[in-house]
Amino acid sequence: MKYWVWVSCLLISHFISVNNGFTQAIANNTYLIDSLRTQLEQSSQNNVQKVVLLNALAEVYRSVSAPKSLQYAQQALNTASSLQDKKMISLSLNNVGEYYLSEGDYRQAFKNFFQSLTIGDSLQNPGLAAYSLHKIGISCYYLNQYNQALNYQFRALKIQETLKNQKAVGAILSCISDIYTRKHLYAKALDFQYQALDTRRSIQEQREVSQSLDAIGNLYLRSHNYQKALETFDASLKISQGLQDKRGIAVAWQDKARAYTELQQYDTAKILYINALRIQRSIGFRKEEIVSFRGLGQVFLRQKKYEKALEYFNDALSLSQELKANREEVQTLNDLGSFYLQKKEPKKALEFHQKALNKALEQPEGFLILESYAYLSNTYLKLNDEANFARFYRLHRQMADSMGGNRDPVAEIKAMQEHYEVEKKAKELEVRNRELTLLKKQNDLQSQKLKRDGQIEALLIVALLLVIVVSAVLYNNYTFKHKSHQKLQALNIQLEASQKELHLSNSMKDRLFSVIAHDLRSPLNTISGFLNLMQLQKDAMTPEEIEVLTSQMIKSVKNTLDLLDNLLHWSRSQMGLMKINVQPIELSELVDDTFDLLALNAKSKNIELVKKDEQSYTVMADAHMVDIVIRNLVSNAIKFTNDGCITVHCQDAPDHQVELTVQDTGIGISPEDAQKLFKVDSHFTTEGTHREKGTGLGLLLCKELIERNEGRIWVESTPGEGSAFKFRLPKA
């Protein structure tokens, strides 16, 4: 009896670790099947041995004949139930669940695994419970219940780590990575897949190591890091070749073909797909032939070789229908829809995308429905059917939100900001408390010292002369009060200075986060929106549409780069990282460099840049800092001038200084707003004449840099007549 229980546990443990290549080897081993059936026929009584044999046959037949697999698993469950053997019932329920999982009936699979979990918990068998939790998590994954899937997988992971079952730990970590991938949390997915890789390497599971490398490569492929993806696929391929794992070799070739397709190396991609197809046919992996057919169709579609593309798409559709592969059929129908949309036949494309959606709804898999909604919204857009476009776009967004599949960059930035603020405030509070404690100790020590000195002094004076004692005591009291008052004043001054520094630091922090949360977010959201639109419609957009979107993205990127440049200079200045290299510099040369840099911007707004210097002016300052100031002032002048002239001229100023003026004919600044320009605690920005965005950060940076070079900066402006920004620096 104990022997067969042990064999049963061994067989069930294979459910987690078994891979397709191993299963195929079992399927081809008719000797094993015949041997198990012979033993079953000889076992006439209902006992544990019979349950084990039935479960073993169910597993072997899973890759050969799904109905037979279910038949044996159900017999095992019935026999175990008649024996009232809870452990065998739990194992048999898992086997039945495996059948429904492989057939795509995820709700029924969930039901069987959950029943097994209940029994495993009642038996206090952590191994059984962990296996059921793992499989329930997989069922939830396919039911698009990603948060529940993660919960079950993490519970299974905790148990298997306690049991030190590294084989199961590797499988669970890989599943967690797949769930995060479906949620589009690629950084977390990559982290957990690397953990799975390390675990599998530690126990020398070469086949599973290859699978983890393949998954990591696909994550790099999603992030468009094609070179890294190819390197990882090559590492996976090398292991599969060493194991003579034909399926692993074919999968690696398919994945490399996808990468080369994205790199537009179509001939290489076709060779790899054809080689993969040849292996799949030789070992009977017909379902994976569909992937190769679709890949070849997509390559020929990109090359606009429509006849060959249609041929391969039809092959994929026929095979998926023959094999009743629902997921692959939906994907191929959407491929055909994209094919006809690229051929400018949107009505025919609509027909295939609608078929894909109907098929996806038959046996709901969320990501298939989600993709079909996206394809349909895009197709209706091409048909100028605004109502249906809005309908399917809304369905797509609602479903994506409910699945937790869309990352919100604004929310991420906000979370990062809140986390940073909490940490910073905690550190500031800790430092402040430490300083206050230290000051209190110093005051106590000083008070004690003064008191002790006074007592000694008084005793000495009393001993010498009673009359002098009275005078000395009065004098000492006066001195003590005076000194205490002075020390208190000094402490108050020090506290005031600390408060000012803290207020300035908070103002700088508020300005920085304001820039990050508002001004940096806006162009990033714009770019994100354009990229999403291009991704949804990449095969259907006209070159003119792509050019317009690209032009808008370039403008957003330039605005972001300008903002980041000022942020970098300002933050380096605040942290004291900008070292001053004072030397004689020629202002005229810096003005020429700035005009050369901004000439195209000025020309685009019909603005003339004029330098009025009739003689050279040399100042003592840091050339790099002064260059940043001049560039910011001229750039601002261009931003707030519609057309006209921007003049830069220098002149001698009192106190052996040189004054530089940037005069524009722009919109000007009101006196109230001019007062806010150079203050860190006043956030003031306006839009340029062409709705250019401003942050107010550039002028703060100018003020900081000029003052660090022993100069000063100010503005003179009249609304509607232009502005003159001026600064003075020491003359060389």
257-284 confidence digits (pLDDT tens): 999 999 999 999 999 999 999 999 988 8
For residue 383, the SS3 value is coil
As a whole number, the mean pLDDT across the chain is 82
CA distances from 599 to 54, 320, 524, 607, 647 (A): 83, 61, 26, 9, 13
The half-sphere exposure of 166 on its side-chain side, counting CA atoms within 13 A, is 12
Across 493-497, 570-574, 671-675, the highest mean pLDDT is recorded for 671-675
Q: 653, 695, 725, 256: which is closest to 516 by C-alpha?
A: 695
- Higher pLDDT, residue 543 or 619: 619
Backbone angles phi, psi at 385, to 5 degrees: -95, 90
542-582 pLDDT tens trace = 877 777 778 767 766 766 676 676 667 666 666 666 788 99
Fold held by 325-403:
1.25.40
- CA–CA separation, 95 and 115 (whole Å): 12
Give the pLDDT confidence score for residue 689 in this predicted structure. Answer: 55
Q: How confident is the model at residue 417 (pLDDT cuts 50, 70, 90)?
A: very low
Give the pLDDT confidence score for residue 691 in this predicted structure. Answer: 53
Give the pLDDT confidence score for residue 413 in this predicted structure. Answer: 29
Task: Please report, for the chain, the start and end positions of each structural domain, with discontinuous segments joined by +.
Answer: 325-403, 580-730
For residue 696, the SS3 value is coil
Where is average pLDDT lowest: 120-124, 485-489, 660-664? 485-489
- Higher pLDDT, residue 321 or 409: 321
Give the pLDDT confidence score for residue 25 in this predicted structure. Answer: 45
Q: How confident is the model at residue 24 (pLDDT cuts 50, 70, 90)?
A: very low
**Which residues, 6+ apart, have CB-to-CB distance to 241 below 8 Å?**
249
Give the pLDDT confidence score for residue 535 in this predicted structure. Answer: 74
Which CATH architecture group holds 580-730?
2-Layer Sandwich (3.30)
| The residue type at 375 | Y
195-247 pLDDT tens trace = 999 999 999 999 999 999 999 999 999 889 999 999 999 999 999 999 999 99
- Burial (CB count within 10 angstroms: exposed 0-12, middle 13-18, buried 19+), residue 292: buried
Q: How confident is the model at residue 3 (pLDDT cuts 50, 70, 90)?
A: very low
Q: Would you tell me the crossing angle of helices 521-536 and 366-382 to the nearest 10 degrees? A: 90
Asked if 684 contacts 696 with a C-beta cutoff of 8 angstroms, the reply is yes
In eight-state DSSP terms, residue 731 is: B
- Higher pLDDT, residue 62 or 648: 648
Other CB atoms closer than 10 Å to residue 545's CB: what's the count? Answer: 13
CA distances from 320 to 289, 300, 365 (A): 9, 20, 16
Residues 706-718 have a mean pLDDT of 94
Query: Which DSSP string do the residues of 26-58 spell out, in sequence order?
Result: HHH-HHHHHHHHHHHHH--S-SHHHHHHHHHHH
Give the pLDDT confidence score for residue 433 in this predicted structure. Answer: 62
Phi/psi-derived region of residue 18, left when phi > 0, alpha when psi is between -120 and 50, beta in every other case: beta
Give the pLDDT confidence score for residue 650 in this predicted structure. Answer: 95
- CA–CA separation, 607 and 638 (whole Å): 7
- CA–CA separation, 209 and 567 (whole Å): 44
Q: Which residues pair with 726 in a beta bridge?
A: 661, 714
Across 302-306, 480-484, 510-514, the highest mean pLDDT is recorded for 302-306
**Which residues, 6+ apart, have CB-to-CB distance to 41 below 8 Å?**
none
pTM, two decimals, is 0.53
Tokens for 588, please give them. Answer: 């005229």
Backbone angles phi, psi at 690, to 5 degrees: -110, 30
Give the pLDDT confidence score for residue 367 in this predicted structure. Answer: 78
Same fold, 325-403 and 580-730: no
Tokens for 491, please give them. Answer: 């402490």
Asked if 95 contacts 78 with a C-beta cutoff of 8 angstroms, the reply is no
Report whether pLDDT(517) > 80: no
Residues 146-170 have a mean pLDDT of 95
Q: Give the helix/strand (H/E) hosting 722.
A: strand 722-730
633-642 pLDDT tens trace = 999 999 989 8
Q: How confident is the model at residue 467 (pLDDT cuts 50, 70, 90)?
A: confident
343-376 pLDDT tens trace = 999 999 999 999 999 998 887 677 788 888 999 9
